[in-house]
Structure 1
């Protein structure tokens, strides 16, 4: 009995001690945090116990509740744009009221991506740019993703309204393999395409908390692909950002566009975040963008050979072999017989009474002259309706005061247009990302998957070529053309007039764009998988597990960080994109990294060293080190030095693509593909854009590409009003991966193969920015930057694609007038013209300058903002790449609720 009572006493004691912390935490402190000037409640203010782990956030009205174990406690109130404040609370019976004073955030924002640990942006050891939610709200941009355009040293290529690809320090293009984009810790690439599909998937505008941009090499911490930069986009935590928010934005575009005509633009977004308890919160967000897309309408004549060529004078009326840049189907050119004169000669052989006459005119026909089929413009074959629908949500559960579990998903679908080796209509594209994550202030562990479905996406060039074959085979079309040409010449017509007459005869029965006959036949062709149609099937998936641990508290003498990951691609295109007709192809990668940081001289010098090792199952492992130093000669003046390395394995496409693009075959570097086309035993020859045959090209294994960069930078905050940031860098690329065109002479088939440059390619550049706070909350800012490449071997295309100079100037105010409710922002950007290269086309890209502007009015009583704005306010149509659409003005008005 005594023993039982002893057990009962021990049990009761255990229960008491286990419950005592819970009982102690029942002291609830409540209050409100207000703006010291306006008296309005401030949402999303961090409220933490000084020296502890407990904390909360204010709601949309500035109110908060926080449970503490004992009193008194010191509460710390902090929010970007306000001076922090500490308040001692010794009585929980009354609500407390705290006023925060506005403060400059210049150089004070906290960034994580520079070292994977929090630090002031002013003290970052590498170049970094940050965009917060307030900047997005006030930016003169129709979409949050467009804010990146005005950052220092950034190039953005727009394939369409919603498909935009950013990069830094050169090598820009539609779909950038050297630039990482990470959304809430997830690689945002479409795994089959190997690059991020812009803002087509990912976060909705209302759910973006901040964006951090690391220009240049960043593989040492973020893995393969980050050779020219990494963009991290982070969402809002529902514990901090609560309530219902929505935004309605509508506008017009295509002003003075005779081909499309004025049309509406719609962007609707909604977000709901809710803290159900101190442990559980959730959020759900959705966004819909709908408009008629910008139109590719470059009708210049392009003489192509494989994936290269040159723009020449000529139109459909003056050149029988006209091939318009944004005209599709006219890539078909004398497919059966090499030249038009050969066609006429063969007719003379078949029809003897014409032989003598043909003999009199063929000497006047150029021996290399060809005739192309009649094509259709992009306005006639591409789906004009851009649609982007995004849905995302997350469940957050606090397992303890330090550990939080997150189950999240982002899903997007829509129609858009992308420029690769050809123009592609991405129709009903669907990409979903789903993750489970555990994180604390010292570590995280996450697993996620990306599921890609190309829907009804198709190659516009191939589809239109096959459409032409469907309504009239080339064998028939060229025969009718040749006989009509001869008849016209015999009737005394001139050469070019005879060609035009011949085309009108051969084109009899050609379906007119927009008719039911055209649509029915075109839809039938685009729905058939390549090679019989234009449809490409892509069901590629990506799986990733990664973790990180901060060992600094255990090590004590230095800041130590370690992490690692496992990644798996599962290629599945059913033979329409990859060489996977027999079944999916798997590719595995593993990686690990470590970082050590130490303040060598207190408040003067800090050194950080990091290194990463990665292994792809098809290539040898790669080690990428990084060493940085931050020198602080005086307070708020920092000099940064860095040695960085980065690399990328050949992409899944560069390894396994096997795609006929109508003008040749894009071929991956895997030896099995060379064996398939007998290119190992029967090697091809190099060929110039002018068709000149060169040396034999044997098979050579493609190696991973790497870059070594050196950078010196300076960042200073002067009198808390002027922020200056400047950098200079050099980069050396080894085993630079590119493509070159080859011709297999025995089969006369052209291929675009993946190769490494035999020489090191060098780049260098610089940039400087300044932001100055004027009286009455006015701000003026500007930046200028430059990037240059050299040592590109003859015959290789680097696809550097960046202007020699670019600049941005801005002027704005986030709050002036009565109660500071008025705001405006104006940005002017300019870039110098340059020669643009890609697999679709190449040629001179003219310089352009653009003005974006926005004016806003805040209504604090309903926590809302009205806004009127314009991108490209002058409506001066411009292109960001040769062959990409002409971008005009977009004029909009918006109303956003619960965003202040």
Structure 2
């Protein structure tokens, strides 16, 4: 029986190839491509053979030539940015003349991501967005990654000029682990950080072919972590896009809150590709950007100590001040708690003087009464150290180098082998549990792939190296500790305050007694004197404790900073360490086969992958096993998808099922079912049910890192035993703040799950108006958030742990979005989109930090023209607005997180761009501005303030 099955399989694999060999012949097709409207020859037009890997690019005179093995007739597909797609059927070797119409219509795009097979975007079974080279070129944004902010439902968090995080449908974060980013089939996450670094290590602008975004759950086809969506970026094939292209861009960044309000930036991109006889092709890419970055300078006081809040607290009023972007001032100490043990004993000056004063009153004024009088009131009881501004701890210079190369070889006309490598080096700033200065960080991605008409097999690796990166908050604390230890500093502060306060009390008290006043009256007068001098005592105490403090820019400060920067986290006996060390790698193999050409009655896809995370932080970021080594995480999965057209092909049903298993968690099934019904050829109604899941990240599983605000631990069970979290008192921080500590009880830590329902409508009406709308409803199970836990270690000290945990109830969210794009005559276009997202369970979370981090309402409006009156001048103006939101993360202080006070204000921006094409020299000129009204805004808590960006660019052969 097995031999019969094997023979059947081999026949289906090889017979089509034998038949093809018999039916094909060597043919040559030549022709010329022109602009139908301007009657000029068109260079750089891609000529592809439908159903074949063969193709060509038209030369400067519009000529092309293709030689291939094929049977007549041959269908050629002509595509070029800014022109409508044209298909021509060729029956013989005579030269052909092809004319292209300008202005490709919205709604006619072909997408791949939604079903892993090419299909019209109108008939996609789920919501999908696309940016192609044309739309990117006309978008008023400095880069294609910035242009993602104009897509409906997309949220962007700017952590620096070069590092932005993209998200859809809620639960955003600075390092977004719920949206997967794929570049040429490779997961673009940094293995140790567990999230993609924007486009720092990705595709250069000149090499980008298209971007496809699937908002919402996408695990059924793309595996773990595509919980909120997947962003796929594909580069240009060197067979299709050949020659030299270049663009040089420069401009200024402007924000009045920066150290220097206006500074320049420079951005250069080069691409070269060449093909030989349609058999071998290669490409190389280079990109480099340099700028003085946006700065984070939020000085709001997030300690919420001494009765102050985010609006009223600052260093001049609150001795426990903890500025958002001030570092080294995170921890505070209660003066009462520290001095009380000294106040009632005679073996120290404070206690001896208090006892002496009490005795001078004949015992009528007790030591307890005197101590209460000389201590500050509740508005000044807590004290923190003096911190440093972020701009004192990092120079905010950002640099990004990207290089890549690829070699393509046609094994057969329909089978292509690819070797590809990409390398990026960056200096920037990122916001996580701390602010991180990412310096000389580099990452490489390298793959080998065989790609056919119906299959692919690929293997790739991602190599992350953190370079000289360090945690800015830890650096601030480390510099303070290198200069003067906290016990010494607080001792000097408290002794100075208590000494001056006691002196004021004693002088007034003794004078009053000597004047004949009763002890009670003398005590009242002395108490008033001590309290009235409080401001002066505090100033003197901080002056004494800060005497000789290391000042930014001095050689002593720089020496201490360098020592802390180069000492790995958390430090050693030599002192605090802030260096972030990570040399983790990811290895993956995967495949897919499309059986649709072998099966007449349905479309069938199968695929799978196997992945290994090799963690390596040299023992600084991740926990060690019993053998002193860091862990390797192994996971794998597979999927199957079937699709069938019914009702005279008006209805398309698609179903898929995926199974994944991670070594630390139970296996997960992810089904998806969708239906698309087409009316009148252009009206498409879709509905889908799909599930997704997120395996806890490498850090969620194995992190073991001390930060200024808390000790971060992974959620796996062995941490509980390692840090004795199950044997002693351990309270939630919410219960401690409420004054009623509650013992915390651990539950199993599980992968997040989502059940997502969506309905949508997409249509192209009268070849002018594109409508796309959807509504969704999400049900999250085992939602992962951070729980801050307090472990008392003595009556006056405690440990604070931050641990990922699952919420014990389901969390629900819903939303909708709608986009309209209208093509007016003479190439004018206008449109806009609006999205609404809401977390339904916010009031019932009982202090659980869900980090929804998404505005309820945001919208984008635009108007433009790619070619005004045939002048080759184009423009685009876009207005973006989003509502205020509450941002929650590990960077926010625990008490502010718990109270949900970290509000990000609403903002709106105007972006515009003007372009001019010079056809003869093939030069494009561009000027533009982002946030042209310079209304500074922040997109997430602790992140930099974004001002205006102006730029000019000159491009060749774009």
Confirm or deny a common fold (TM above 0.5): yes
C-alpha distance in structure 1 between counterparts of 2:848 and 2:688, whole Å: 30
Q: List aligned pairs for 1:704-719, cutoff 5 A.
A: 704-719=751-766
Separation of aligned partners in 2, 1:413 and 1:862: 33
CA distance in 2, matches of 1:806, 1:288: 32
Whole-angstrom CA distance in 1 between matches of 2:920 and 2:75: 28
What CA distance in whole angstroms lies between the structure 1 residues aligned with 2:799 and 2:784? 23
Aligned counterparts of 1:212 and 1:520: Cα–Cα separation in 2: 48
- Work out whether 1:476 is the aligned partner of 2:474: no
Aligned to 2:723: 677
Q: What whole-Å deviation, never above 9, does each CA across 1:788-811 have from its counterpart, x for those lacking one?
A: 112252120110010110000011
1:812 pairs, out of 864, 888, 893, with 864
Cα 1:827–1:49, aligned 2, differ >3 Å: closer, same or farther?
closer
Correspondence for 2:559 among 507, 516, 520: 520
Q: What is the number of equivalent residue pairs in this alignment?
A: 874
In structure 1, what is the equivalent of residue 547 of structure 2? 508
**For 1:519-558, what aligned pairs fall within 5 Å after superposition?**
519-532=558-571, 533-558=577-602
User: For residue 14 of structure 1, what is the aligned residue in structure 2?
Assistant: none
Q: Deviations over 1:745-776 (max 9, x none)?
A: 34621101121111000000000010001121
Mapping of 1:613-624 within 5 angstroms? Answer: 613-624=659-670
CA contact (8 A) 1:339 1:370 kept: no
Return the index of the structure with the highest Cα Rg.
2
1:419-818 map, 5 Å:
419-486=431-498, 488-489=500-501, 490=503, 494-532=533-571, 533-580=577-624, 582-682=628-728, 684-688=730-734, 690=737, 692-746=739-793, 748-792=798-842, 793-817=845-869
| Counterpart for residue 130 of structure 1 | 130
Q: Give 1:8's aligned residue.
A: none
Of 53-62 and 711-720, deviating more is 53-62
TM-aligned CA deviation for residue 342 of structure 1: 4.0
Q: CA deviation at 1:59?
A: 4.7
Of 639-648 and 355-364, more deviation after overlay is shown by 355-364
Tell me how far 1:82 sits from its aligned partner.
1.5
Q: Is contact 1:578-1:659 (8 Å) kept?
A: yes
Label 1:69 to 1:806 Cα distance change in 2 as closer, same or farther (>3 A): closer
Does the 8 Å CA contact 1:683/1:699 hold for their aligned counterparts? Answer: no
Distance in 1 between the 2:776 and 2:372 partners? 64
Alignment of 1:233-312 (within 5 A): 233-303=233-303, 311=310
Contact 2:55 2:239 in 1 (8 A): no
Residue 875 in structure 1 maps to residue 925 in structure 2: no
Instruction: Quote the Cα distance in structure 2 between the aligned partners of 1:610 and 1:120.
Output: 19
Question: Which whole-Å deviations, capped at 9, do the CAs of 1:609-664 have from their partners, x for residues lacking one?
Answer: 00100000111100000000001122200000000100011111111011101222
Secondary structure of 1:371's match?
A: strand
Shift of 1:520: 1.8
Query: Residues of 2 paired with 1:809 and 1:45: CA distance?
Result: 31
1:759 and 1:791 in contact (8 A); partners too:
no
For residue 682 of structure 1, report the CA deviation from its aligned partner. 2.5
Separation (CA, whole Å) in 1 of partners of 2:813 and 2:71: 60
How far apart in 1 are the matches of 2:411 and 2:345?
83
Give the whole-Å Cα distance in 2 for the aligned partners of 1:572 and 1:640.
Answer: 45
Q: Secondary structure in 2 aligned to 1:557?
A: coil
CA contact (8 A) 1:104 1:720 kept: no
CA offsets, 1:179-237, max 9 Å, x none?
00000000000011111011111111111110000000000001101110100000000
Q: CA RMSD in A?
A: 2.4
The answer to whether the 8 Å contact 2:936/2:948 transfers is yes
Please, what TM-score do these two structures have when normalized by structure 2?
Answer: 0.88
Contact 1:578 1:656 in 2 (8 A): yes
Per the TM alignment, residue 583 of structure 1 is displaced from its structure 2 partner at its CA by: 1.5
How far apart in 1 are the matches of 2:225 and 2:314?
Answer: 41
Q: Deviations over 1:324-367 (max 9, x none)?
A: 000001113239x7746548748986204543676253455329
Structure 2 residue 318 is matched with structure 1 residue 319: yes
CA distance in 1, matches of 2:91, 2:599: 35
| 1:169 matched residue in structure 2 | 169
Which is worse superposed, 82-91 or 765-774?
82-91
Q: Give, in whole Å, the separation in 2 of the partners of 1:297 and 1:634.
A: 56
Indicate conservation of the 8 Å contact 2:111/2:121, yes or no. Answer: yes
Q: Which runs of 5+ in 1 are unaligned?
A: 1-17
Residue 896 of structure 1 is matched in structure 2 by 955
Once residues 50 and 844 of structure 1 are traced to their aligned partners in structure 2, the CA distance between those partners, rounded to angstroms, is 53
Render the CA deviation track for 1:703-749: whole Å, top value 9, x for unaligned. 11100011000111110100000011100000111111111134621
User: Aligned equivalents of 2:740 and 2:277: distance in 1?
Assistant: 72
Q: 1:740 to 1:61 in 2, by over 3 A?
A: farther
Distance 1:742 1:70, change over 3 A: closer
Tell me what 2:523 maps to.
Answer: none
Q: Gaps (5+ residues) in structure 2?
A: 1-17, 358-369, 505-528, 572-576
**Match in the other structure for 2:513:** none
Greater Cα shift, 486-495 or 367-376: 486-495
> 1:842-878 CA distances to partner (integer Å, 9 max, x unpaired)?
5111100011111010111122210001111111110
Q: Residues 856-871 of structure 1 correspond to what in structure 2 (within 5 A)? A: 856-871=915-930
Compute the displacement of 1:398 (Å): 0.5
Displacement of 1:139: 1.2
Distance 1:133 1:338, change over 3 A: farther
- State how far apart, in whole Å, the 2-side matches of 1:105 and 1:601 are: 28
Could you tell me how far 1:24 is from its partner in structure 2? 9.3
Counterpart for residue 837 of structure 1: 888
User: 1:716 and 1:71 mapped to 2: Cα distance?
Assistant: 36
State how far apart, in whole Å, the 2-side matches of 1:105 and 1:755 are: 48
Aligned mates of 1:89, 1:364 — CA distance in 2: 95
Shift of 1:79: 1.6
CA 1:400–1:880: 2 relative to 1, 3 Å: same
Quick one: structure 1 residues 145 and 365, their matched pair in 2 at CA, closer, same or farther if it must change by over 3 Å? Answer: same
**CA–CA distance in structure 1, aligned partners of residues 68 and 646 of structure 2:** 38
How far 1:77 moved relative to its partner? 3.6
Q: How far apart in 1 are the matches of 2:484 and 2:793? A: 29
User: Deviation of residue 26 (structure 1)?
Assistant: 6.1
Pick from 385, 392, 397 the counterpart of residue 397 of structure 2: 385
For residues 850 and 631 of structure 2, the distance between their equivalents in structure 1, rounded to whole angstroms, comes to 29
> Which of 919, 939, 945 pairs up with 1:886?
945
Q: Is the 8 A contact 2:877 2:913 kept in 1?
A: yes
The one-character-per-residue Cα deviations of 1:407-453 (angstroms, maximum 9, x if unpaired) are: 00111111111111111111111111000000011000000000001
Contact persistence 1:573–1:580 (CA under 8 A) = no
Q: Out of 321-330 and 840-849, give the one that drifted further.
A: 840-849
- Label 1:896 to 1:54 Cα distance change in 2 as closer, same or farther (>3 A): closer
Measured against aligned partners, the alpha-carbon deviations of 1:103-154 in whole angstroms (never above 9, x if no partner) come to 5422111100000000010110100000001111121111211111010001
1:179 paired to 2:230:
no
Distance (whole Å) between structure 1 residues aligned to residue 61 and residue 857 of structure 2: 46
Question: Which secondary structure does the structure 2 equivalent of 1:714 belong to?
Answer: strand
Q: What is the rounded CA distance, in whole Å, between the counterparts of 1:520 and 1:746 in structure 2? A: 34
CA distance in 2, matches of 1:127, 1:23: 41
**Matched-pair contact (CA < 8 Å) for 2:258–2:295:** no
Question: The residue matched to 1:861 in structure 2 has which SS?
Answer: coil
Structure 1 contact 218–230 (Cα < 8 Å) conserved: yes
- My pick for the range that moved more, 198-207 or 486-495, is 486-495
Contact residue 53 and residue 415 of structure 2 kept, 8 A: no
Indicate yes or no: 2:205 matched with 1:153: no
Counterparts of 2:799 and 2:65 in 1: how far apart (Å)? 72
Secondary structure at 1:408 match in 2: strand
1:848 aligns to 2:895 (yes or no): no
Could you say if the C-alpha distance between residues 250 and 349 of structure 1 is closer, same or farther in structure 2, counting changes exceeding 3 Å?
farther
Helix, strand or coil at the partner of 1:728: strand
When normalised by structure 1's length, the TM-score is 0.93
